[in-house]
Amino acid sequence: MPILIWIILATLFGGLLSAALASLFLLYGEARRNWFLPHLISFATGAMLAAALLGLLPEAIADVGAGHVQAIGAALLAGIALFFVLEKLVLWRHCHTEDCEQHQVPSVQNRDRAAGWIVLFGDGVHNAFDGVLIAAAFLTDVRLGIVTTIAITAHEIPQELGDLAVLLHAGMSPVRALVFNAASSLTSIIGGLAGYLALKGALDVLPYAISVAAASLIYVAVADLIPGLHRRVDPFGSAMQVLLIGAGVGVIAVTETLLG
């Protein structure tokens, strides 16, 4: 079978499988989802930070070598600045239709909505470059391509679950969140095609693009999700948050260890 077909099938399979497993969350009734969602946000916070700091950034640094670590840091800083500006623009847009313009303070709902769109953008970029990695592996060896696809899909499942939680937290309906999450996952096909057609050019900028994707995960976790977690201060709820953040970190760390 031609390598291009392998790449298309692998990216399609990986994107659909990770989004489908995450979407099982929607099978719960609304009352149970509303109870479970805050806990899932805690898990998403840990998973996002771990994916960025234990997965994406080390990979970017390894790709450029020790001599270019500062450039990766610059790309990360630029990414955080980019998503700060993007969130400001989203909040400003929604302020024109609500009363926050008068007080210059966006509502919690507006911030949550902005975080959802940033997650979609960052995850789309992340998945697209996952597609580039899959293409690179298949162009090296079909067996390596299959192993890489399995590893990336396994790595993405907890991340997609966290992204879906953020989209629901942002106020999207379950169906809309599912559609957007699946569309974001399938950007891996675009990345796979781009990697196949222009491999060397894509790989040259890949570490820096991965750093920007990591910046989106860090920014949303630190600027949008963690402040929301601080609204709950009772001992039991706080302890659950710490445990679930740790669980999110642990899932990503174990996945990286077993499949890396």
The mean-pLDDT minimum among 25-34, 164-173, 182-191 falls in 25-34
What one-character-per-residue DSSP string does 152-173 give? HHHHHHHHHHHHHHHHHHTT--
Answer whether residue 93 shows pLDDT above 60. no
Answer whether residue 220 shows pLDDT above 90. no
Q: Which residues fall within 8 angstroms of residue 235, CB to CB, at 6 or more apart?
A: none
If one counts the domains in the chain, the total is 1
The most confident of the ranges 59-68, 90-99, 104-113, 149-158 is 59-68
pLDDT tens digit sequence for 191-203: 888 878 876 665 6
SS3 of 98, please?
coil
pLDDT attached to residue 244: 92
What DSSP designation does 180 have? H
Question: Which amino acid makes up residue 147?
Answer: V
First to last CA, the chain: 27
Q: What share of the chain is helix, strand, coil (3-state, %, to 5)?
A: 90, 0, 10
Quote the percentage of the chain above a pLDDT of 90.
8
Task: Please list, residue by residue across 12-51, b when 16 or more beta carbons sit within 10 angstroms of its beta carbon and e when fewer do.
Answer: bebbbbbbeebbebeeeeeeebeeebbbbbbbbbbbbbbb
Task: Give me the sign of the Cα torsion angle 179, 185, 188, 191.
Answer: positive
Please tell me the distance from the alpha carbon of residue 186 to that of residue 82, in angstroms, as a whole number: 23
DSSP at 51: I
Distance CA 209, CA 88 (A): 22
Instruction: Decide if pLDDT at 19 tops 90.
Output: no
Tell me the C-alpha distance between 123 and 174, whole Å.
18
Residue 62: both structure tokens together: 């390894």
Residue 102 structural domain:
3-259
- For residue range 165-181, list pLDDT tens digits in order: 777 777 777 778 778 87
Q: In this predicted model, what pLDDT tens digit does every residue of 33-70 receive, in sequence order?
A: 667 777 878 888 888 888 888 877 887 888 788 888 99
Which pTM does this prediction carry?
0.64
Cα–Cα–Cα angle for 87, 91, 96, nearest 5°? 150
pLDDT of residue 106: 53
